[in-house]
Structure 1
Amino acid sequence: GLGSLTIMGYSLHFLKLLSLCMAFSLVARVGTWTVDLSNWSMFIWCFCFTVTLLILIVDLFGLQYHLCLSWDNFLITFLFTYACLATVFCLSASIMYAITYIQFLPHGPFRDQATAATAFSCIACVLYALEAAFLWLLFLGETTFYFATIHGLFKLLETLVACIIFAFISNTYLHQHQPALVWCVAVYSICFTLGAVAMLLKLVKFENRLHTFFPRFLLGQTVLSVLLYASALILWPLYQFNQEFGGQPQRSSDVSCSDELASTLCIWDQKLTVAILTAINLLIYVADMAYWIHFIFIRY
């Protein structure tokens, strides 16, 4: 299975390393990485560079064959998951860096370097997406590849959307002032943890020990996540945008949305994005729940 991946895999790895290296090198040269939000973009590029370099080293020296795991199952799944996460991370870093800095920089060498850094970040994002698509198509239909299944894809999408939500709520100003909003953060964390546990149990083939109970366990986990996300979908907009609950119904009422503030993202826009992502993830969980209801009560 991996023989056909060797040449293309090495090429993608080297191109990704080059793109990420250029991105954080240009940002370091511009010097805008001293601000918190740019630190997040710099962290993403350095993190993805490090993990990709480790994967390349493992491939080059054949270290995977010394691990007590099935390379065609667990590690291929890890590569696919990481490629998907890196795609989302690099995309978010590109968007945040562009919105936060490029549009406010005067025309000149600094702006050109910042634009080039964003372009290299976008290239890395495309390369990770190509790798994820190639792996998914290559192992589509193989039962050993978890994310080639419908349930695996649902779990992957739920995890990716949750990671994007975490990137926004890392700004504690969005939720620390209201217990109801803290509950929403707890909901995102609980559902993410439950999903991670479910994926881990599936990857280590723990369902073989539980037999018919395991699908019911996954259904219960998904139903709980639907209920929790439904509460978050109600509470987050209510306490963020309803004036009676201390929210800001109008974007213009948020001083952070002023064009003069070049070093911060608009807080109101972040709140709206989290609300939209919450609705999207709730729909994914509902579809996941419908799949398990069909699988358990109709197929059986």
Structure 2
Amino acid sequence: MPLIVFHSSQLLWVRLAALLFTCVAFSVAAHGAYLPHGGMADWCIFCWAFSFACTLLVLLVEQFGLQARAPVSWSNFPITIACYAALLCLSASIIFPVFFLKNQSVHGEVRTYRIVSTVFSCLAAIAYMGEVSLTKARPGEVAGYMATAPGLLKVCQTFVACIIFILVSEPVSYDHHPALKWCMAVYCICFILSMAVVVLCVGECTGCLPIPFSKFLSAYGLLAVIMYLSATILWPVFQFDKQYGGRRDDSKLITVAVFTAINFLLYLADLAYTARLVFVTV
């Protein structure tokens, strides 16, 4: 019978803490928070459950020493999962109290359950941020691409794009002018390419590209910056200017404009880091 030996480390304890916090968050919410079905309630439950399941998978693989048998790059997979989990739990920590605590006429145990879920969601987000901090590449250290700043920025770019997709899809807010359709094309193209980079790195398939991976990153980074710059300018102009049928008081459209600008800055930082990695270190 195989003996499992737990090698104590700071990283192990951080992962166990994240596992516990996410488990408590979704268990309490599902047990006594009396959340409505669908919408943001399901999103928050998904954030906690997905993070819990992925962290449990990482812990089991590492404790059983199965990294070499995993069909993914183990230098890239755990930190990618941790970064996504940090963003998911952070979003749930903001969304859950806004939708299910603020201005809600709930009292007694139901309110207590919801407060507990919020607290443990915040703790989970902090734990995952700690894991990312512990596993990211240090200067001069040889590590997987996803452990570097450009790799982590790719995760953030795809996550922000997903938020934009949710905001513009219900109701559809990009179909009344060709410029807005271009903005939507920018979001989709850049999301697909960034996600493709993440999948290629985690799946150890970067060698399948017809050009060197570093050149692909540089070319794509420059293209994404130019495209997002155009979207950052066009989206507010054609959404808020009354000359083009704009709607000034729509908070969703304002949020999309803000997240578009955030993603532009993320792609700009990504291009700067990629240029430094490719042209300075080579």
Same fold (TM over 0.5): yes
Aligned to 1:32: 35
Structure 2 CA distance for partners of 1:192 and 1:177, relative to 1, 3 Å: closer
Tell me how large the CA RMSD over aligned residues is.
Answer: 3.1
Q: Report the Cα offset of residue 160 of structure 1.
A: 0.7
Gaps of 5+ in 2: none
Q: Judge conservation of contact 1:162–1:188 (CA < 8 Å) in 2.
A: no
Corresponding residue for residue 246 of structure 1 = 245
- The CA deviation string for residues 134-162 of structure 1, in whole angstroms up to 9 with x for no partner, is 1126x5522233245xxx41342243133
- 1:114 offset after TM fit, Å? 0.8
Rounded to whole Å, the distance in 1 between the matches of 2:261 and 2:269 is: 13
Asked whether 1:110 is paired with 2:113, we answer no
Q: Percent identity?
A: 33
Conserved? CA contact 2:22–2:48, under 8 Å: yes
Deviation at 1:62, TM superposition (A): 2.1
* Amino acid paired to 2:153: L
Give the aligned partner of residue 60 of structure 1.
Answer: 63
Aligned to 2:217: 218
Distance 2:19 2:11 in 1: 12
1:47-88 residue CA offsets vs partner (Å, 9 max, x unmatched): 11111121122123222232366xxxx313211121111111
> Counterpart in 2 of 1:14?
16
Looking at structure 2, the residues matched to 43 and 109 of structure 1 have their Cα atoms a distance apart, in angstroms, of 23
Question: How many aligned positions are there?
Answer: 272
Which residue of structure 2 lines up, in the alignment, with residue 167 of structure 1? 163
Greater helix share, 1 or 2? Answer: 1
Report whether the alignment pairs 1:75 with 2:74. Answer: yes
Question: What are the equivalent positions in structure 2 for 1:59-208 lying under 5 Å apart?
Answer: 59-67=62-70, 74-106=73-105, 107-136=107-136, 140-147=139-146, 152-171=148-167, 172=169, 173-175=171-173, 177-178=175-176, 180-199=179-198, 204=204, 206=206
Q: Shift of residue 207 of structure 1?
A: 6.2
Q: How far apart, CA to CA, are the structure 1 residues paired with 2:279 and 2:40?
A: 48
Residue 168 and residue 102 in structure 1: after superposition, are their counterparts in 2 closer, same or farther (change >3 A)? farther
The two structures have a TM-score, normalised by structure 2, of 0.81
Secondary structure, counterpart of 1:104 in structure 2 = coil
Pairwise CA distance, 1:202: 5.7
Q: Does the alignment pair 1:286 with 2:282?
A: no
Q: 2:54 aligns with which of 51, 58, 61?
A: 51
